[in-house]
Structure 1
Amino acid sequence: MSWLYDLYQTYEENKESVGKIQRTAMGKEVVLLPIAHAYQNAQIEVTVTKNGEFYAAKVVPKDEAPTIIPVTIPSAGRSGSTSAPHALHDNLVYVAGDFEEYGGKYKKSSIDGRYSYQMYLDALKKWCDSEFTHPLVQNILTYLEKGNLIEDLIEAKVMFAKDHQLVPKWSKELEREFRDKPPLFNVLSGDQTTAFIRFLIHEEGEGNRPLWGALEIIDSFVNYYNQELPEVGLDYVTGEMLPLTGNHPSKIRYGGDMAKIISGNDGVNYTYRGRFTDKNQVASISYEASQKGHNALKWLIAKQGYSIDGRVFLTWGKVEIPSPEESSYDLFADFFAEDEEADALNTIDTTHQQFAELFRKALKGYRTNLAYHSPIHIMILDAATPGRMGILYDRSIEKETYFERIEQWHQTCFWRHTYGMKNKVHYTFWGAPSLRDIAESTYGSKANDTLVKNTIQELFPCVVDGKKIPLTIVRSLLKRASNPVSMEKWEWEKTLSIACAVVKNHFDYKKEEKNVALDKQETDRNYLFGRMLAVADVLEERALYKVGIKRSTNAIRYMNAFSSHPATTWKIIQANLIPYQARLKGQGSYYQMILDDIGATFNLEDYTDQALNGNYLLGYYSQRADLNKKTEEKTED
């Protein structure tokens, strides 16, 4: 249960945030829920006076619907087949004493036969009769005991009935009769009987006081409910003797998520039979630890989790930390934009050393906010079935080790990328691509989400644990980057730069001076063949441009064959270059001179048809970028 303890500790460290609404960078509202509380979307708001009389009601807009409500263990995990009431705010079938008078049908307890309205009132009375009661909650009980909620809502024109029956759904016939569509039907996904009600108290001269999210109401219920928990035992999370629970929260990833990480409700089949006689022999967990751990997890996922097709990738520490999934630009765009030294990154001659120094400088800002031994937690979650969630990856790493791994990844996966897009504006950045971009480039931008999320998961240990990128990913990227005719130009350019970054990381280039700029001293045959292909590509492209022709060059067309049989394919490419060299005249001789220099660098025994490895892409990219840069400089002059 180390993961639950880590989350429990996170909750304890962030107690000051409990019950307070926070906004993420994207403007999303998130709340660290108190224990015995959950989020629920409300559709109707009912205001009651301090005398327990109806005062007003209104429909809740969708953007204001999320509501923090007190819940019990049975009600927090209730489904359509269970009838446990929530503690205060609840569905119409629980809070309305006249529900059946208007065509509804109460839920019935399979244990004692009580109807949902009676169960709700009994539970609310028990809270109000306890030493932890709150007078504002008593006001709600006084009003609801009168049993005329729906009647009041109809008079307030919040709900609509015809022939003393609630109108199930809005129709064209009703529209002709009542004209405008009532607001309630715009926020409900079902009929009127499914509406969820939340309560306020009206105080003369002071306005209305919401009873959701109010700290005094939260404390009142938490203190009351803690004494109601029956079984006390050893909590495996904290090591203390505390009230236990066997029912753990759902709705972890989003509001409608019914998958649970911990579940022991199968006492008939083979969940634990054969090894244990009781589920608590597997692990006994206190209600407090379970609530705090799961609420911390929900909060972290909503605040900073990265999700794709239901799989959640989450990294957290005591303060904000860089995520393994993000690209170098995602992590440090603000720093690079503000730092004057970062202007050095606006040149193709950027060296590994320049990037490393700037990266360390940016990373230092994260490091200084954490104590030396502060742990960093990484977790990957997904649900195999609608009711069962699994922890696919769980690691806790000391701060220094984590930052060393992050730094190592972004330096060894360093390359120049031109595919960035922010606010519809393209940008160039240097460093490592995001794990999602690697996954999509590996299998194509139209790859299904299942394949993409599985690939991201494969890449996580490469960042966090310093493992090698799987050879299957490297080979797939190499194959796709070598086949430009199968993609649009923008996609191939993106795939090429990402392939270069991954190849550079996989083959573990340890020379600090290795960079995107052309290395004319490199004698590796793969790199040299890549340079030759780039020269042929640029040469033909220039010649075609002169006569206004826009098509793929022979170098691009033959790239796939060239990667498998470089010597043989080069003869074909070179023969096709002759007319283009003649068209370029003196410039054609310049390109031939470069080809001669590259050819002279070859060791004779290396000029063979042996298939090329990924290093040829580095040679191709760097040589092409160098030639394009020189052309741009001449144009500027």
Structure 2
Amino acid sequence: MSWLGELYKTYEENADLAGKIQRTNTGKDVVLLPVSHAYQNAQIEVAVTPDGAFYSAKVIPKEEAPTVIPVTINSAGRTSKPSPHGLHDGLQYVAGDYEAYGGVYKKDNAYHQYIEQLSKWCHSPYAHPLVQSILAYLEKGTLIEDLVREKIMVEKDHVLIPKWTKELEAEVGEKPLLFNVLSGDQTTAFIRFSIHEAGKEARPLWGDLEVIDSFINYYSGELPESGLDYVTGKVLPLTENHPSKVRYGGDMAKIISGNDTVNFTYRGRFTDKNQVASISYEASQKGHNALKWLIAKQGYTIDGRVFLTWGNAEIPSPEESSYDIFADFYAEDEEADNLATTDTTHQQFSALFTKALKGYSAKLAYHEPIHIMILDAATPGRMGILYERSIEKELYFSKIEKWHQTCFWRHTYGMKNKQRYTFWGAPSLRDIAEAAYGSRANDTLVKNTIHELFPCVVDGKKIPLTIVRSLLQRASNPVSMENWEWQKTLTIACAVMKKHFHYKEEERNVALDKRETDRNYLFGRMLAVADVLEERALYKAGIKRSTNAIRYMNAFSSHPETTWKIIQANLVPYQARLRGQGSYYQLLLDEIGSTFKIDEYSDKALNGKYLLGYYSQRAELNKKPEEKMED
């Protein structure tokens, strides 16, 4: 339970933010949920007057649906068994005329349970007058009737219409907005409440700190017996029912669950689930609420899988690219941001990147822990922690720096303010995944690839060969994709290849290395010369098409000697068209060819180093004259 203990500490360190709306850098509003509260997506908002009369109702747009609601131990993780929330709830709980409009309770009468529980709160010493107004209205049992009259809901023969059809449009009229925000029928609608006072704006009850404190104070006296809490080591009221809705409002998957007494969730080792671990209600609530808050604020989610990194201050994530880290740290420093996105040497990049990491690190105390979690749900009701570890900040930042310094290349695929920019360093893990398997790869494949790459960044493990081979194959097949996608794939592949082949410190520069004698690198250089030679000859003739070097690139990577004979034979007319410049390219090819060891000039398939030679040689040939003079 170390992960829950760390989340509990995180909550305690940020307790002053509980219940307060925060806006992230992306413009998203997030809330650190108070104890005994949870997120729920609501579809209808009902306004009630202070004297308990219906005032108005409206359908809630999807972007405004997340609602902070008071919950009990049982309702926080409820499934099919009726268990009412504290105030805001589903239609079957809050509507006294639910059965009158065709609703059927599968088990107990949920409305009676809801009213009984709400009455206890309203008659307790911690009662809030505005909540008493809601109780006074709901006891009348006319909620659905009022919603039908307001044309929020639609009924036919005194039964709520389950689905909207074209036939109904001709009979009833325009399609109600409610059907645009519901995933099920009308009976699945969730209702939240506000109070309307004459001459004032409606007062929402789901974000009201007074109402929140009122419920927490009331419910703390309703908690079960105490026992040893394995998280805090204290004797506190325990719970066997833990929250769901961890990733989003409708998420029913739980991380902790022991309610399966049939299929041996814990049986075979223990006779009772409390023998596994006993957790207090407070620790469970605070730990899960901290996790929800962190995921909403800074988690990276793809296809339901959550990648989360957190500490006591803002820190770079293992998933981010070098530019993401620069952009976050230098958001207010235009000069430094320009340095991060313009052409530079590896030494300049290294100094700048180290400075950025020191800026993040300075916000944390010495030996401050950094926490990393990867979560996913195999089934709708069960969530697993796929990866979890805590690491001291010094080690974490050294691992991040090592990754970005060694998986380093020049990239030109980024877009900022509709302008393409160049950045140096490592690509994001998602970009690596999409480069390896295509931009149209399904989310399951992408998330699994990111998962495989996480330990490469955090633990220094080698990049899996399946990813390296896939990158090599796709980067060697430019005709299979548009040019922009191939250029992006090529630079990402070069970064990964350089990391994979463990180039030494002095060899990490993107610039052409004329001292390199590796056959793969040399073959890549030859292919680049052929590509540029033909490209310039075609441009001179006003012809737009792919060069033979590009068209034969895939075959060249598998059979370089045989394919080179074909490419070189096709170069003859283009050399003649370029005249003196054609002779320059031939001399360059002769120079590269003379560097080969005789036994290494063969048809053996090339590895990823040939991409490095190709890219570096091509970049060298495409340099402007003034840049070459500087060299």
Residues 206-245 of structure 1 aligned to structure 2 (within 5 Å): 207-245=201-239
Q: Deviations over 1:287-346 (max 9, x none)?
A: 111111111111111111111121111111111111111111122136668453665667
Cα distance between partner residues in 1 of 2:313 and 2:106: 46
The structure-2 alpha-carbon separation of the partners of 1:365 and 1:626, relative to structure 1 and needing over 3 Å to count, comes to same
Distance between the aligned counterparts of 2:118 and 2:222, measured in 1? 13
| Farther-moved stretch of structure 1 (568-577 vs 182-191) | 182-191
Q: 1:616 to 1:97 in 2, by over 3 A?
A: closer
Q: In 1, Cα distance between the equivalents of 2:518 and 2:89?
A: 71
Contact between 1:352 and 1:513, CA under 8 Å: does it hold in 2? no
In 2, the alpha carbon distance for the partners of 1:571 and 1:172 equals 67
Output the CA distance in 2 between the equivalents of 1:161 and 1:567: 77
Task: Determine the C-alpha separation between the residues in 2 that align with 1:600 and 1:51.
Answer: 95
Indicate yes or no: 2:335 matched with 1:340. Answer: yes
CA distance in 1 between counterparts of 2:601 and 2:158 reads 91
SS of 2:614's equivalent? helix
Contact 2:47–2:194, Cα closer than 8 Å, also in 1? yes
Q: 2-side partners of 1:287 and 1:346: how far apart?
A: 49
The C-alpha deviation readout for 1:384-419, integer Å capped at 9, x for no partner, is 112111111111111111111111111101101122
Give the superposition deviation at 1:275. Answer: 0.8
Deviation at 1:497, TM superposition (A): 1.0
Alignment partner, residue 550 of structure 2? 556
The corresponding residue for 1:6 is 6
Q: Which amino acid aligns with 1:49?
A: T
Do the aligned partners of 2:323 and 2:340 also contact (CA within 8 Å) in 1? no
Return 330-339 or 575-584, whichever deviates more: 330-339
On the 8 A contact 2:46/2:192 being kept in 1, the answer is yes
Is residue 327–residue 431 contact of structure 1 (8 Å, CA) maintained in 2?
yes
CA offsets 1:10-46 (integer angstroms, 9 cap, x no match): 1111112211222223322221111211222333333
CA offsets 1:545-570 (integer angstroms, 9 cap, x no match): 22223333232233333333434433
Is this contact kept in 2: 1:93–1:107, CA < 8 A? Answer: no
Q: Would you say 1:374 and 2:368 are equivalent positions?
A: yes
Unmatched segments (≥5 aa) in structure 1: 110-114
Alignment of 1:583-602 (within 5 A): 583-602=577-596
For the residue of structure 2 that corresponds to 1:441, the secondary structure is helix
Q: Deviations over 1:453-493 (max 9, x none)?
A: 11111110111111121222222222222232333322222
Q: Is 1:537 matched with 2:531?
A: yes
After TM superposition, list the pairs within 5 Å mapping 1:15-94 onto structure 2: 15-79=15-79, 81-94=80-93
Partner secondary structure for residue 391 of structure 1: strand
Shift of residue 435, structure 1, vs aligned partner: 0.7
Deviation at residue 155 of structure 1 after TM alignment:
4.8
5 Å-filtered alignment, 1:150-299, equals 150-156=144-150, 158-161=152-155, 164-166=158-160, 168=162, 175=169, 179-203=173-197, 207-299=201-293
Give the TM-score, by structure 2 length. 0.92
**In structure 2, how many angstroms separate the alpha carbons of the residues matched to 1:456 and 1:629?**
35
Which residue, out of 318, 325, 331, partners 1:324? Answer: 318
**1:360-394 deviations in Å (ceiling 9; x for gaps):** 12222211211122211111111111211111111
C-alpha distance in 1 between matches for 2:462 and 2:531? 32
The change in CA–CA distance for 1:50 and 1:540 in structure 2 (over 3 A counts) is closer
Determine if contact 2:329/2:359 at 8 Å carries over to the other structure: no
Equivalent-residue separation in structure 1 for 2:395 and 2:547 (angstroms): 47
Cα offset, 1:625, TM superposition: 0.7
Whole-angstrom CA distance in 2 between matches of 1:577 and 1:207: 77
Aligned to 1:438: 432
Identity %: 78
Could you tell me how far apart the structure 1 residues matched to 2:472 and 2:601 are?
Answer: 21
Cα separation, 2, equivalents of 1:505 and 1:168: 57
Q: Any residues of structure 2 matched to 1:597-608 within 5 Å, and which?
A: 597-608=591-602
Tell whether the 8 Å contact from 2:411 to 2:492 is kept in structure 1 after alignment.
yes
| Higher deviation after alignment, 296-305 or 563-572 | 563-572
1:383 lines up with 2:382 in the alignment: no
The aligned residue for residue 575 of structure 1 is 569
Residue aligning to 1:117: 111
**What root-mean-square deviation, in Å, do the aligned CA atoms of Structure 1 and Structure 2 show?**
2.5
Change (3 A) 1:560 1:184: closer
Separation in 1, partners of 2:342, 2:188 = 61
Shift of residue 627 of structure 1?
0.6
* Equivalent residues in 2 for 1:608-623, closer than 5 Å: 608-623=602-617
Q: Partners of 2:441 and 2:198 in 1: how far apart?
A: 60
Task: State the distance in 2 between where 1:233 and 1:309 align.
Answer: 38
8 Å CA contact retained: 1:43, 1:60: yes
| 1:221-254 per-position Cα deviation (integer Å, ceiling 9, x unaligned) | 1222222122321111111111111111111112
What CA distance in whole angstroms lies between the structure 2 residues aligned with 1:41 and 1:447?
30
Question: Secondary structure in 1 aligned to 2:622?
Answer: helix
Which secondary structure state, in structure 2, belongs to the residue aligned with residue 629 of structure 1?
coil
Work out the number of aligned pairs and report it.
627
Q: What secondary structure sits across from 1:150 in the alignment?
A: helix
TM-score (norm 1): 0.92
Residue among 409, 412, 415 paired with 1:421? 415
Work out whether 1:134 is the aligned partner of 2:133.
no
> How far apart in 1 are the matches of 2:467 and 2:143?
61
Aligned twin of 1:112: none
**1:183–1:542 CA distance, 2 compared to 1 (3 A):** closer
TM alignment of 1:478-489, pairs within 5 A: 478-489=472-483
